[in-house]
Amino acid sequence: MSAARTHLSSTTVFHGALVNPLDLHSYQALPHALLCVDPYGDIAWIEPHVPDALVQDVMARKGLVGDDVQVVQLKKGEFLMPGFIDTHTHAPQVPNMGAGQQYELLDWLENVTFPMESRFSDVDFARHTYKTVVRRVIDSGTTTCCYYGTLHVEATKVLADIIHEYGQRAFVGKCNMDRNSPDNYVEPSAEASVQGTKELLEHIRGLPPLTSPRPAHDTDRSQLVHPILTPRFAISCTSPLLTSLGQIAASDRSLRIQTHISENLSEIAFTKSLFPECSSYADVYDKHGLLRHNTVLAHAVHLEDEEIALLKERGCGISHCPTSNFNLRSGICKVGELLDRGIKVGLGTDVSGGFSPSILAAIQHASIASKVVSFQHQPGHAIAVPHHLFVNHSPLANKQLPIPALLHLATLGGAQVCDLQARVGSFAPGKAFDALLVSVSSAAGNPAVWGVEVDEALGIERGMGMSKEQHLERMLEAFMFCGDDRNISRVYVQGRVIGGKEWAASQP
C-alpha cells in the first residue's frame, strides 16, 4: 500500500537532541527534548528539556501509557531536525548531472538539457528513470520538493504517481513550452499546452488522500502531492499561453506557480526582446497574472531594484540555486539583500544545472556565495537597501550568511516560499512531522565527519568548556558542511519513515 494512504499504528515519542529553526537569526539546540507524534503523523506536543530520568514521568502525565506508544531514544551523535525543502529541481535532468560544464544557460539547454528531456515521451523510460530520481532525492534528506517534469503529460503523471507511492511531499508541474524549443521538444500550440496542464491538475488532485481526522477541504493537510503551474520560463511561452495560465491561477488561489527569473544576462536580454511592451522580466509575469504569494521564482540573480519591489509587493518567493549559478556561470544572487527587503527565500538544487540533488550542497554553496558577495564590499561599505526598509533587525546584505540563516533557508524559508509554513519547516504542535534523523557518528561511514567516538578513542576532550547546547550546535555545523546521505539515518514525512540509510538497510 502507498505510504501516502495510511496512518501510523501508534503514537511515537522521540527523546534526545533536537534542532529547530525559529527565524533567520536563531534556532533552538535542545539536547534533551521530548517530541510526540500522533498516529496521523502530526506533532502533538514538544517538551524542550526532559532529562532521561523523567521521560516516563512526563509521558505518564501526558496520558501516554501502554503498548500503543513507541519510544525512540536517540543515541550519542544523533539529532532530529526538520526535513530539507528543495524549492527548485528538474526531475528529468538528474541523469545529466555533471554534464555540460563548458556551457552557459542557453547553450546548455540546447546541447544538454532538451535532448535528455525529449526522451521522456517514452513512458516506460520515464517510469524507470523517475523511480531512481525520487529515491535519490528522498535519501538526500529532501522531504518536500518542487519538481519540474517535462512537457509530456503522461510522463509527468508517472512522476506524480511515484512520488505519491514513495510518500514524499511535493509539488509537480508539467512544463509549458510552446515556442523557442527544438522541433521535437515543443508543444504544438498554447491550447494544447493548457489542455495538458489541466489534465495533469485533475490527475494529481485525484490521488488518494492521507488518512486524517481533519477537514478534507484543507488540501495542504489531506494531500502530500500537489500540482503546480509551470511555465518553464518566459522565453518558452507565448503571451497567449501565459495569459491562459494566469487565468487558471486566478480560478484557484491555492494553486502554486513555479518558473525561472533573471538567471542569466543573455536570457534576460532575450526575454525583453520577446516582450517589448513589458518594463522588466518580472513585469512579463506580472502582466499575465503569475506573480503572487505562492509563486516560486528560481534564481533571481540579476534583479533590478524595481523588480525586487514588485516581488515584495506581490509576496513572491525566491529559490536560491547557488550550485547551478556557479556551475553555469550565471552569477550570484544577493540573498542577504533580498532577505533584508522582506522577500521569502529558500534553497533549490536546480539539477542538473546544479550537480547535486542534495540540499546540503546548496547550503554549502549558499555560504560560499554570500562570502563572495561580502568580498566585493569593503568594511563599512554602504548597504544598498535603505535602513527604513529593513525587515530584519540585523541586516544581512553584503555579509556572509550565518548558520541560523543557512538552516532557515534549507527548512523554514523553503516552507515559506512554498506557502507551506503552517505545515512544515520547523517543529511545532499541529505541524506535520517531516524530519531527518541525523547521525554524525563515525559509524555513519562518512570520513569527512569527525565523530565524537574518535575523540574519545584518542583521548581528545574536545567538548571541554562547551555546554551540551554548544556541542549540539557543533554537530549541526559538521553535518551542514561535511555531511552527506550517509549521515541521514531516517527520513520522515508525515510521521512515516520513507527513506534514509536505516530504511535502505531494512529493504529486501
Name the helix (H) or strand (E) containing 125. Answer: helix 123-139
pLDDT at 49: 98
Across the chain, what does the average pLDDT equal? 93
Pairing of strands 344-347, 317-320: parallel
For the chain, list the domains and their CATH numbers. 11-82+428-506 (2.30.40.10), 84-210+219-377+410-417 (3.20.20.140)
Least confident among 154-163, 431-440, 445-454? 445-454
Average pLDDT over residues 261-284: 98
Average pLDDT over residues 205-211: 90
Q: Distances from the Cα of 108 to the Cαs of 98, 126, 234, 258, 276, in angstroms?
A: 12, 21, 17, 21, 25
Q: What span, in angstroms and rounded, lies between the C-alpha atoms of 213 and 221?
A: 10
> Using one digit for the tens of pLDDT, what is the confidence trace for 361-374?
999 999 999 999 99
pLDDT at 367: 99
Contact between 119 and 125 under an 8 Å Cβ cutoff? The reply is yes
Q: What span, in angstroms and rounded, lies between the C-alpha atoms of 383 and 377?
A: 9
> Using one digit for the tens of pLDDT, what is the confidence trace for 378-419?
565 445 555 555 555 679 999 999 999 999 999 999 999 999
Q: Any idea what DSSP says for residue 110?
A: I
AA identity, residue 3: A
AA identity, residue 428: A
| φ/ψ (deg, to 5) at 404 | -60, -35
- Three cell numbers, residue 199: 489534465
pLDDT at 198: 99
> Using one digit for the tens of pLDDT, what is the confidence trace for 1-19?
344 444 577 899 999 999 9
Burial 194-218 (b: 16+ CB within 10 A, else e): bebbeebbebbeebeebebeeeeee
With a cut of 60, say whether residue 276 has pLDDT above it: yes
pLDDT at 379: 61
With a cut of 90, say whether residue 354 has pLDDT above it: yes
pLDDT band at 458 (very low <50, low <70, confident <90, very high): low
Q: What span, in angstroms and rounded, lies between the C-alpha atoms of 188 and 183?
A: 10
Average pLDDT over residues 213-227: 80
- At residue 271, the 3 state secondary structure works out as helix
Average pLDDT over residues 15-28: 98
Q: What span, in angstroms and rounded, lies between the C-alpha atoms of 220 and 176?
A: 24
Dmax over CA atoms of the chain, in Å, equals 70
pLDDT at 401: 98
> Using one digit for the tens of pLDDT, what is the confidence trace for 461-488?
656 668 999 999 999 999 999 999 999 9
